[in-house]
Structure formats: structure tokens, C-alpha cells
């Protein structure tokens, strides 16, 4: 089994490397919005000292951490997979004795991640130089604690997106659904602003949704802003959503493939 992943890695890495120019451009999209919000909030924080207790530096380190966390937990399953379902080429994958999503697509995700992170590093260095952030709140314990949480966050994101992609077995309107899911994500994950600045209602909804587990929770964890009970609560929530997303994905995959082969596409 490991051998399969190793081989897959070699192939997908080579593939992704072919698309490196595209990847770089893709990164531009990811970059601009956090930098814009960073600028907006630091301007406000500077003009009045702080915003709800957050200083300008707090915003700088929040959005700079967001850039990396975003890459670590990002998922490109739908871009990879939906077209295969729609044009029927998935048949080629289905007749192979490995699970297409849990092998090829997963490894593809990883290869993309490594490539974008490599490209992000120099950019991040430039941002460091430009914004002069103060990361003294970050501790080794924080970093060690965040690693399993990042894995958890990525797995949840991957499985949820995989389940969502399976909807392509039933409808062609998969991209609208994807956009809707993304819109929910930007609202509840802490992508716009640190969730503490959101209206209380949204904050309390966000706490129970999986989105903040892929961004806000991880950022706060690494920046050392969470109490032990917050951390435990976050991890419990993570395990809960991992189980839910796993079940969702299993259900969607099984029924989707059944539907797919019934049509004989």
C-alpha cells in the first residue's frame, strides 16, 4: 500500500511541477485578500490603539499565519475530480483496484500543497520584511500542539469537499454548490476577520461548524491565544467533525458510484 502512495507521489509531483506557473498565479489570488484585510485592520487598530483588545501587531500576525494555515488545510479535490465525473473519464479510475479519491486525489492534494508552500515561503519572507511582525507569542508547545490539529483540519476539509464533489454524480450544478460552500467557509472560518470581531450570533454558530477548525482554531492555537479548555474543546470538535465528514463521504461515495455505474457513463 505504501508503495502505491510512493509511486503516486512521484507521478503527481511531476505533474504538479509541470503546472508550476499556474500554481504561482493561483497563489496570487490567495495572497491579495488577506493582505487587504490585514491593511484595513492595522489601519484601524493604529488609529485608535486597538480594536476589541487586538493591537495592530495582533492583526498582522493573524493574517500572516492565516496565509500559511490556509495552504496547509486547503483542498483542491473538486477541481481535480468533478470534471472526471461529468465527462465520464472516471470510469478509467474506477476499474483500477485502488480507491480513486483516497489515493490519487489525496496525493494530488499533497503535491499541490507542497508546491504552493514552497512558492509561499519567499513571499512570506517579503511580507515579514514589509510588516515587521512580532511573533513572540508563539511557543514550541503551541507549534507541537497545532500539528495534529492541522492534520485534523485538513482531513476534515478534504473529506467534506470530497463528499461535496460526490454530488457531481447527481447534478451538474456542482460548481454553484461549491461556491455556496466556499461562501459559508469565508464567513465562518475566520477568513474575513478574527471570529472574535464577528457579531455574537455568528460566533456561536461558527463554534459548532467545521469551518473554523480549518483556520481560526489553528491560528489562535499557534499564536498561543487559547486556554487549555478551548484547546480541548477544539480538538473534541475536530474529532466529532472528522467522524461526521468520514460518514458523509462514505455515504456519498458509495451511492454516487452506484448511480454512476447504473447510468453506465
Partner 1 sequence: MKNTLCLIKVFLQVNLQMSLAYRADTVINLLLNLMWLGWELLSLSIIFSNTKTLGGWGVGELITLLGVFRLVNTLMAALLWPATEKFNASVRDGSMDYTLLQPANSLFLVTFARITVWRIWDLVLAVILVVAGTFMSGAGTSPLSLLYFVVLTLSGVLIIYSLWVVLIALTFWFTKFDNNVTILAALLDAGRYPSTVYPAWLRIIVTFVVPIALATTVPVQALRGELGGQQVLIFLAVSAASLLVASQVWKYGIRQYSGASS
Among 18, 22, 91, 261, binds partner 1 (CB under 8 A): 22
Instruction: Give the separation between CA 210 and CA 215, rounded to whole angstroms.
Output: 10
Q: Which is nearer to partner 1, 176 or 239 (CB)?
A: 176
Least Cα distance to 152 among 251, 65, 235 occurs for: 235
Instruction: Give the separation between CA 27 and CA 18, rounded to whole angstroms.
Output: 16
Binding characters for partner 1, 160-179, by CB under 8 A (x = yes): -------------x--x--x
Instruction: Give the separation between CA 50 and CA 41, rounded to whole angstroms.
Output: 10
Stretch that binds partner 1, among 140-148, 192-200, 226-234, 237-245 (CB under 8 A): 192-200
Q: Which is nearer to partner 1, 104 or 212 (CB)?
A: 212
Q: Is 230 in the site for partner 1 (CB under 8 A)?
A: no
In sequence order, which ranges of the chain are alpha helices (DSSP H)?
2-18, 20-48, 56-73, 77-87, 90-94, 106-131, 140-166, 174-188, 200-208, 211-214, 216-222, 228-263
Instruction: Give the separation between CA 78 and CA 158, rounded to whole angstroms.
Output: 10
Q: Phi then psi for 54, rounded to 5 degrees?
A: -95, 125
Q: Is 260 in the site for partner 1 (CB under 8 A)?
A: no
Size of the site for partner 1 (CB under 8 A): 33
Q: How far apart are the first and last CA of the chain?
A: 29
Instruction: Give the separation between CA 69 and CA 152, rounded to whole angstroms.
Output: 12
Q: Is 246 in the site for partner 1 (CB under 8 A)?
A: no
Partnered with residue 54 across adjacent β-strands are: 51
Q: Is 203 in the site for partner 1 (CB under 8 A)?
A: no
Q: Which is nearer to partner 1, 22 or 83 (CB)?
A: 22
Least Cα distance to 209 among 181, 230, 232 occurs for: 181
Stretch that binds partner 1, among 61-69, 195-203, 214-222, 235-243 (CB under 8 A): 195-203
Q: What is the nearest approach in angstroms of partner 1 to the Cβ of residue 42?
A: 9
Length of the chain: 265
Q: Is 17 in the site for partner 1 (CB under 8 A)?
A: no
Binding characters for partner 1, 100-129, by CB under 8 A (x = yes): ------------------------------
Q: Is 66 in the site for partner 1 (CB under 8 A)?
A: no
Q: Which is nearer to partner 1, 194 or 210 (CB)?
A: 194
Among 1, 2, 3, 48, binds partner 1 (CB under 8 A): 48
Q: Phi then psi for 51, rounded to 5 degrees?
A: -120, 115
Residues near partner 1 (CB under 8 A): 21-22, 25-26, 28-29, 31-33, 35-36, 39-40, 43-44, 47-48, 51-52, 130-131, 173, 176, 179-180, 183, 186-187, 192-193, 197-199
Amino acid at each position: 500500500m505504501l508503495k502505491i502512495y510512493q509511486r503516486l507521489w512521484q507521478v503527481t509531483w511531476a505533474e504538479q511541477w509541470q503546472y508550476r506557473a499556474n500554481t504561482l498565479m493561483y497563489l496570487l489570488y490567495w495572497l491579495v485578500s488577506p493582505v487587504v484585510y490585514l491593511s484595513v485592520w492595522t489601519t484601524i487598530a493604529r488609529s485608535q490603539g486597538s480594536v476589541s483588545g487586538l493591537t495592530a501587531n495582533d492583526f498582522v500576525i493573524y493574517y500572516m499565519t492565516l496565509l500559511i494555515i490556509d495552504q496547509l488545510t486547503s483542498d483542491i479535490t473538486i477541481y481535480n475530480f468533478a470534471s472526471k465525473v461529468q465527462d465520464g473519464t472516471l470510469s478509467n479510475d474506477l476499474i483500477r483496484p485502488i480507491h480513486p479519491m483516497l489515493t490519487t486525489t489525496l496525493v494530488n492534494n499533497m503535491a499541490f500543497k507542497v508546491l504552493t508552500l514552497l512558492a509561499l515561503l519567499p513571499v512570506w519572507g517579503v511580507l515579514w520584511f514589509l510588516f515587521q511582525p512580532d511573533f513572540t507569542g508563539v511557543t514550541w508547545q503551541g507549534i507541537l500542539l497545532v500539528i495534529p490539529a492541522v492534520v485534523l483540519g485538513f482531513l476534515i476539509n478534504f473529506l467534506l469537499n470530497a463528499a461535496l464533489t460526490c454530488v457531481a454524480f447527481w447534478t451538474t450544478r456542482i460548481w454553484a454548490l461549491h461556491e455556496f460552500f466556499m461562501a459559508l467557509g469565508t464567513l465562518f472560518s475566520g477568513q474575513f476577520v478574527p471570529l472574535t470581531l464577528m457579531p455574537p450570533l455568528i460566533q456561536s454558530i461558527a463554534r459548532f461548524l467545521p469551518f473554523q477548525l480549518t483556520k481560526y482554531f489553528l491560528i489562535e492555537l499557534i499564536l498561543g491565544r487559547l486556554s487549555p479548555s478551548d484547546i480541548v474543546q477544539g480538538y473534541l470538535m475536530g474529532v466529532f467533525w472528522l467522524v461526521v465528514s468520514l460518514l458523509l463521504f462514505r455515504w456519498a461515495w458509495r451511492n454516487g458510484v452506484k448511480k454512476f455505474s447504473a447510468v453506465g457513463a
